[in-house]
Amino acid sequence: MTPHEIIAEREAIIARCGPWTAHNIHLGHGIYTIGTGTEGRLVLRRIVQAVSDISRSPLSSLRVLDLACLEGIYGIEFALHGAKVIGIEGRSANIEKAKFAARCLKLPNIEFIQDDVRKINRNTIGEFDVVLCAGIFYHLNSPDVFAFAETIAEMTTQFAIFDTHISLGASEQRQYKGYSYNGSIFVEHADIATDEQKERSLWASLDNNQSFWLTRASLLNLLSKSGFSSVLENFNPSMIGEFDNRIMLTALKGKRAPLLCSPLLNERPDVEWPENMGTHSFKVLNTFTQLAHAAKRRARRLLPV
């Protein structure tokens, strides 16, 4: 596509679907979906680095699933590296934008499908080396959020990336398959919101008016029970200034490694993470993060207008 054709089609899409909301993708010829003044999402760097480091394979050899891909930036990045990618997105406006970007970049190795991520599974879409669950987990209500974690584990052959908000308090409790999970309710849409209004709310759930945000402990327990053998938290590359209640986890799909010098530990069942972690580093980390952000807010208030 020529620069003139790219700009003309981009403007036509904006007229129909509205502007790009966050994914600032370079379409070629110095043309971006949003503009040169917007860097884009820092989490992209963290996700790509994590996949590159943990897979220990060339990105071009991977099969990647991007769940609730929004405007497509994560899947497109991996496709540019040569990976085979499928992006699932529920809203037609986002699908149109993602397909346009892939067309501009001549990426035959990425496919965007409009569907509800709650409806897909290994039988309908297959298995993937890496599953990206970035910015969708906290938009689901119970019991969907629990079943979704299980589905991701079933579709993953190597690991999954979870970039998600968590609840910093445990005001609500839900039961799933005999286990208790704690978290809080987040309002996605007003009870009187119409289907059309929900469709236009590009950064909210597809249809559920509320979502259930898991606490850190409950999320870790859920991933363990869903079939992930190890869960790592990603801190670098750094994302200073992001939300206090957002984390990125890499959940690995492996087999329990037998212990040879301490065989009695092989019989010990896994212990759930408790909600009250006392002086555990998780709580210390959250406390220091909250204090740092509070100090920033106080400093801003003291600055002259």
Q: Who's near 100: CB < 8 A, 6+ residues apart?
A: 9, 10, 13
Q: Taking residues 130-150, report their average pLDDT.
A: 97
pLDDT given at position 118: 97
Say if residues 164 and 247 touch (Cβ distance below 8 Å).
yes
* Mean confidence (pLDDT) of the chain: 90
Q: 150-189, pLDDT tens digit by residue?
A: 999 999 999 999 999 999 999 999 999 999 999 999 999 9
Structural domains in the chain plus CATH codes: 42-256+270-274 (3.40.50.150)
Q: Residue 142 and residue 140: Cα distance in Å, rounded?
A: 7
